[in-house]
Amino acid sequence: MDFQDRLIVAMGDSLAAGEGSPDKPGLYNTSENWKGEIRRTGTVKPVLWESPQCHRSKISGPARAAKSLENRHTSVTFISAACSGAQLWHLIDTRYAGREEIFGSLPPQTDAIKAAVGLRGRPIDALLIAVGLNDLHFSTIIENCSTNWKGGNCVAKPACWPGGTLFGKYIPPDMTGKHLDCHGSGGIADQIKALPAKFGALATALKTKLPTARSVYLTGYPSNVFKGGACGSLHFNGVGISAGEAAQMHGWGLQLTQMISNESGRHGWKKPVDLGPLFDSHSYCAGWNGKLLPPGPNGWFTTYEWSWRTQGDKFGTAHPNAAGHVAYGNAFRRAISFR
d(CA 226, CA 319): 11
Q: What does the pLDDT read at residue 72?
A: 80
Reference 305, options 23, 38, 29; nearest CA is: 38
* Per-residue model confidence (pLDDT) at position 54: 98
- Lowest mean pLDDT of 74-78, 147-151, 208-212, 313-317, name the range: 147-151
Q: What is the pLDDT of residue 302?
A: 96
pLDDT at 37: 85
Q: Which among 80, 75, 70 is positioned nearest to 49, based on CA atoms?
A: 80
Q: How far apart are CA 262 and CA 269, in angstroms?
A: 10
Once rounded to an integer, what is the mean pLDDT over residues 250-276?
Answer: 96
Domain ranges of the chain: 4-136+194-335
Average pLDDT value for residue range 264-269: 97
Q: Which amino acid is at 272?
A: P
Categorize the per-residue pLDDT at 181 as very low, low, confident or very high, splitting at 50, 70 and 90: very high
Decide: 210 and 127 in contact? Cβ < 8 Å: yes
- Mean pLDDT value across the chain: 93
The pLDDT of residue 124 is above 80: yes
Q: What is the pLDDT of residue 102?
A: 86
The DSSP annotation for 283-321 comes to -TTTT---TTS---TT--B--HHHHHHHHSSSTTTTSB-
Nearest to 26 by CA among 288, 329, 316, 286: 316
- In tens, the pLDDT along 215-234 reads 999 999 999 999 999 999 99
Q: Is the pLDDT of residue 149 over 70?
A: no
Which residues, 6 or more positions from 253, have their beta carbon under 8 angstroms from its beta carbon? 221, 222, 223, 224, 225, 276
Which residues, other chains included, contact 111 with Cβ-Cβ below 8 Å and sequence gap of 6+?
209
* Cα–Cα separations (whole angstroms), residue 275 to 78, 221, 264, 298, 322: 22, 6, 15, 16, 15
* Per-residue pLDDT, 119: 55
Using alpha carbons, list the distances in angstroms from residue 15 to 10, 232, 321. 11, 23, 10
Q: Which CATH architecture has domain 4-136+194-335?
A: 3-Layer(aba) Sandwich (3.40)
Q: What is the end-to-end Cα distance of the chain in Å, rounded?
A: 17
Q: Averaged over 268-289, what is the pLDDT?
A: 94
Average pLDDT for residues 123-133, to the nearest whole number?
Answer: 96
Residue 151: which pLDDT band, with cuts at 50, 70 and 90?
low
| Cβ–Cβ under 8 Å, residues 278 and 332 | no
Answer whether residue 148 shows pLDDT above 80. Answer: no
Of 77, 75, 107, 114, the closest CA to residue 93 belongs to 107
Give the least confident one: 209-218, 264-273, 289-298.
Answer: 289-298
For helices 195-209 and 109-117, give the axis angle rounded to 10 degrees. 20
Model confidence at 150: pLDDT above 70: no
Using a pLDDT cut of 70, give the percent of the chain over it. 98
Query: 148 vs 50, which has greater pLDDT?
Result: 50
Q: Are 173 and 184 in contact (CB under 8 A)?
A: no
CA–CA dist 173, 170 (Å, integer): 10
pLDDT over 60 at 157, yes or no: yes
Cα–Cα distance for residue pair 42/57, rounded to 1 Å: 23
- Measured at the alpha carbon of residue 293, what is the angle toward residues 290 and 299, in degrees to the nearest 5? 80
Note the pLDDT tens digit of each residue in 285-298. 998 988 878 888 89
**pTM over the 0.75 mark:** yes
- For β-strands 216-218 and 126-130, DSSP reports them as parallel
Q: Output the pLDDT for position 101.
A: 82
**Predicted pLDDT at 291:** 81
For residue range 75-104, list pLDDT tens digits in order. 999 999 999 999 999 999 999 999 998 889
